[in-house]
Amino acid sequence: MTIRSYLDRFVHPWIAAIATVGALLWLASFIVAAIGLGIRTSHPLWNIRLFAASGYLGLLGMGIIAACALWLGGLRIVQVTRRFVG
């Protein structure tokens, strides 16, 4: 089974792929923060930069996931209203 056939089961493959990228960015933000925590005593300036980068990565990932959720919610609203109107 390929990744694309797995994603085709749930939603449109492009939406699923974009949401997966968002989730991976969010996960990467935790890894970057852990690296910043690990080097906090030896490189304090890099520590601050890595924590800031992890915040931006996490925010970007959550924004992508939220955009996909809003898109799917909008599609659902259109489906429901078409059923009642038409």
Task: Please give the helix or strand (H or E) that residue 1 lies within, else none.
Answer: none
The pLDDT tens digits for 22-68 are: 999 999 999 999 999 998 888 888 888 999 999 999 999 999 999 99
Query: How many C-beta neighbours within 10 Å does residue 36 have?
Result: 19
72-75: long-range contacts at Cβ-Cβ below 8 A with a sequence spacing of 24 or more? 72/11, 72/15
| Per-domain residue ranges of the chain | 12-85
Q: What is the pLDDT of residue 47?
A: 87
pTM metric for this prediction: 0.79
Identify the pLDDT of residue 25: 97
